[in-house]
Structure 1
Amino acid sequence: MNELRILLQDNLNIEFISATLSNPRQKEGTVRVKIRPMLKKDKLFFQLESFRNHQAFHQNVGPEEAIELIMEYMENMKQMQMETKQASFSVLISKKGKVTIKSRKNQCERKEIDMSHNRKKRYVLEEGVPVPFLKDLGVMTEEGKVVQSKFDKFRQINRFLEFIEDILPQLDKGRELTILDFGCGKSYLTFAMYYYLHELKKYDIRIIGLDLKTDVIRHCNELSQKYGYEKLKFLEGNIADYTGVDSVDMVVTLHACDTATDYALAKAVGWNAKVILSVPCCQHELNRQMENEVLAPIFRYGLLKERMAALVTDGLRAQYLEREGDDTQILEFIDMEHTPKNILIRAVRTGKKGENEAAIRRCEECLHVSPTLGRLLDHKEGE
C-alpha cells in the first residue's frame, strides 16, 4: 500500500479536486467515502464524508490526518477515483493487497473549485448547466435551472450516475462498449447514462433501450436523433425474448416489473456482462409462494408479507448473482420518502463462483419458494 500513500502525499494539496472511495469488501461498515478540499481561514483542510447505515458522517482534517484516514478506509475498499487539476487517477486494490494505479492527464481547463465550508451539494450533472435532454424532459429550464417539481427526479438521475461513476474502472475505455437498458420507459436515466459516459467521460458506447410501449420508443428515438446521439437506439420488445446482441458489457434494468427483472438478470449472466445495475419493482412472485410455519402469524398481515417477499426476492437475486461469479451489493437508490422502490442491485463480474449454493437451497426450502431467476440460471447450467 506504499504506492497509495505516496500518491496521496503527492496530491493532497491545493491542486486536489475530489476523491471517492468505494466498493467495500465488508458491507457492514462504511460503504463509501467522498473527499473534497476546503479552506478555513486560508488554511487547507479536507472534508471526508463517509456513508454507513444510510447515514452520512463528516470529518474536517488537515492533509496529514486525511492521508492516514484514507489509508485506513482503503483497507476495506477495493477502489478509489481521484481528480486533481492536473490528472485523474483510478486506484484498484486486489484481495491480496496489490495496488494498481492508472492515471490520465486532464486535457481541458478545470473550473474554479468551490472550497467554502458550507457549500451546496455537488451533483454529477450540475445545477445551472443546461443539459438538452433534461430541458426536453421538463427537468430543467432553458437556463439550466432545475424545475422545483422535478427536483426529486434530478436527484434520482444524479444518484444513478454516482453508481455508474463507481464502476468506471471496470469499463474498458479502449473499445466500443455495449450497454442494454431493459424496460427503459421514458428513459430519463438512459439519456443521462449516454450523456455522462459519452459526452462527459468520452467513452465509446452503444446503448440499446428496450421497452414494450410503441409510443414511448418512438418518442425516445426522436429525441436521440435530435441530440445527435448516434449510438443511442430504442427498440420495442420483450426482455425475455431479446436476442439482438451476442455480448454485452453492462445491463441496466430499472423498475422492470416482477419477474421481468429476473429475465434481464439471467440475460446479463448469460452474456457474461461486466456490470449489472438493477432496480427491481413489484416483486409479486414470492408473495404468492412464501410459506413458513414459524412465520405464519406474521404472514397473516398482507402488507408485512408483501414487504418481506420483496426483500427475500432481492436478497436471493443477489445470492444467485454471487453464485454465478458476480461481486454483488444491495444499495439504497434514493430516499425512502420519495419512493418505496429504493433498492438497487449492483453486480460486478469477477468470474469467481460463490460457495453459497447450500445456503441458497436452505433459504428456498425454509420459505417454500422457487424464484424465477434461480430456475433460469439452473436451466442455463443444465444446458
Structure 2
Amino acid sequence: MYNEIIQELSSLSKDEIIKIVLSNSKGEVQKATVRPILLKNNRKWQVEKIINNQAFHSNIENNDLAGNVQVMLEEQYFSDINIILNGKTISYRISKKKKLFRNEHETESKNNTVLSHNVHKKYILEEGMPIQPLIDLGIFDDNYHVYKSKYDKFQQINR
C-alpha cells in the first residue's frame, strides 16, 4: 500500500525536500516530521515523533531516508503523508477502505530552508540596532549590545 509513496520518495532529489509530515496515525505516534539538518558538516535527517504530546527526536543518515519512512509508515499506519518540496507539495491520503489518493499542488518556493540544528531567533529589535531609548534605559551599552543584567528586560520589551 505504501510502495507508491516510497518509490516517489526515492525518486526525488534529497536537496529538493524541505520537510516530510506523516500524520493521522492509528499507532501511538500521533505525528512525525522529517526535516534535513546539518550536523558536523554532514547532512542528515531529523525525525521528530509526537507521542502523548511529547516530542522525541532522532537523527538518521542521508541515504536511509526512504527506508526509515517506510518503517514508520508500516508500523504506525499513517493515513496522511505530505512531502513538501521547493515549489510544490505532494499529498497522499489513505482512505478507510485502504485506497490511496495523491494530490500535487504548486506552492510558493522558499529558499530560506535552515539546516542548522540551532535556529537563530528573529526578534523585532535586534541586538546591535541603534535604538537610543534602550541606551537611555540602560539596556544597551554604547556599542548597542545588551548588558547581561538587563537581558530579561530586553526580552520583555522585545515580545
The one-letter amino acid of 2:110's match is R
Q: Which residue of 1 aligns with 2:89?
A: 88
Q: What is the CA distance between 1:150 and its match in structure 2?
A: 9.8
The one-letter amino acid of 1:101's match is R
The one-letter amino acid of 1:48's match is V
Q: Which residues of structure 2 form unaligned runs of 5+?
A: 125-154
Q: Which residue of 2 aligns with 1:77?
A: 78
Q: What's the secondary structure of 2:79's corresponding residue?
A: strand
CA distance in 2, matches of 1:10, 1:103: 16
**Contact in 2 for aligned 1:3/1:99 (Cα 8 Å):** no
Classify 1:35/1:53 alpha carbon distance in 2 versus 1 (closer, same or farther; 3 Å): same
**Contact in 1 for aligned 2:21/2:31 (Cα 8 Å):** yes
Classify 1:68/1:86 alpha carbon distance in 2 versus 1 (closer, same or farther; 3 Å): same
**Contact in 2 for aligned 1:12/1:63 (Cα 8 Å):** no
Classify 1:128/1:15 alpha carbon distance in 2 versus 1 (closer, same or farther; 3 Å): farther
**Contact in 2 for aligned 1:38/1:46 (Cα 8 Å):** yes
Deviation string, structure 1 residues 242-301 (Cα, Å, up to 9, x no partner): xxxxxxxxxxxxxxxxxxxxxxxxxxxxxxxxxxxxxxxxxxxxxxxxxxxxxxxxxxxx
Count of residue pairs the alignment pairs up: 126
Q: Which residue of 1 aligns with 2:58?
A: 59
CA distance in 2, matches of 1:128, 1:111: 20
1:97 aligns with 2:122: no
Q: What is the CA distance between 1:60 and its match in structure 2?
A: 0.8
Q: Which residue of 1 aligns with 2:152?
A: none
Q: Which residue of 1 aligns with 2:114?
A: 114
CA distance in 2, matches of 1:128, 1:7: 39
Q: Which residue of 2 aligns with 1:17?
A: 18
Report % sequence identity. Answer: 25
- In the TM superposition, 1:292-331 aligns within 5 A as none
1:46 aligns with 2:45: yes
Q: What's the secondary structure of 1:61's corresponding residue?
A: strand
Moved segments of 4+, more than 6 Å: none
- Structure number with the higher helix fraction is 1
Q: What is the CA distance between 1:101 and its match in structure 2?
A: 1.7
Q: What is the CA distance between 1:7 and its match in structure 2?
A: 1.9
**Contact in 2 for aligned 1:11/1:84 (Cα 8 Å):** no
Classify 1:40/1:77 alpha carbon distance in 2 versus 1 (closer, same or farther; 3 Å): same
CA distance in 1, matches of 2:71, 2:157: 41
- In the TM superposition, 1:131-280 aligns within 5 A as 148=156
CA distance in 2, matches of 1:96, 1:37: 33
Q: What's the secondary structure of 2:11's corresponding residue?
A: helix
The one-letter amino acid of 1:74's match is L
The one-letter amino acid of 1:47's match is Q
Deviation string, structure 1 residues 290-340 (Cα, Å, up to 9, x no partner): xxxxxxxxxxxxxxxxxxxxxxxxxxxxxxxxxxxxxxxxxxxxxxxxxxx
Classify 1:104/1:117 alpha carbon distance in 2 versus 1 (closer, same or farther; 3 Å): same
Q: What's the secondary structure of 2:10's corresponding residue?
A: helix
CA distance in 2, matches of 1:8, 1:34: 15
Greater RCO structure (CA 8 Å; 6+ sep):
2
Q: What is the CA distance between 1:25 and its match in structure 2?
A: 1.9
**Contact in 1 for aligned 2:33/2:49 (Cα 8 Å):** yes
CA distance in 2, matches of 1:148, 1:103: 43
Classify 1:43/1:6 alpha carbon distance in 2 versus 1 (closer, same or farther; 3 Å): same
Q: Which residue of 2 aligns with 1:68?
A: 67
Q: What's the secondary structure of 1:19's corresponding residue?
A: strand
CA distance in 2, matches of 1:2, 1:72: 12
**Contact in 1 for aligned 2:123/2:158 (Cα 8 Å):** no
Q: Which residues of structure 1 form unaligned runs of 5+?
A: 122-126, 130-146, 152-383
Q: What's the secondary structure of 1:39's corresponding residue?
A: strand
CA RMSD of aligned residues (A): 2.7
Q: What's the secondary structure of 1:6's corresponding residue?
A: helix
CA distance in 2, matches of 1:35, 1:120: 20
**Contact in 1 for aligned 2:31/2:50 (Cα 8 Å):** yes
CA distance in 2, matches of 1:103, 1:90: 6
Classify 1:9/1:63 alpha carbon distance in 2 versus 1 (closer, same or farther; 3 Å): farther
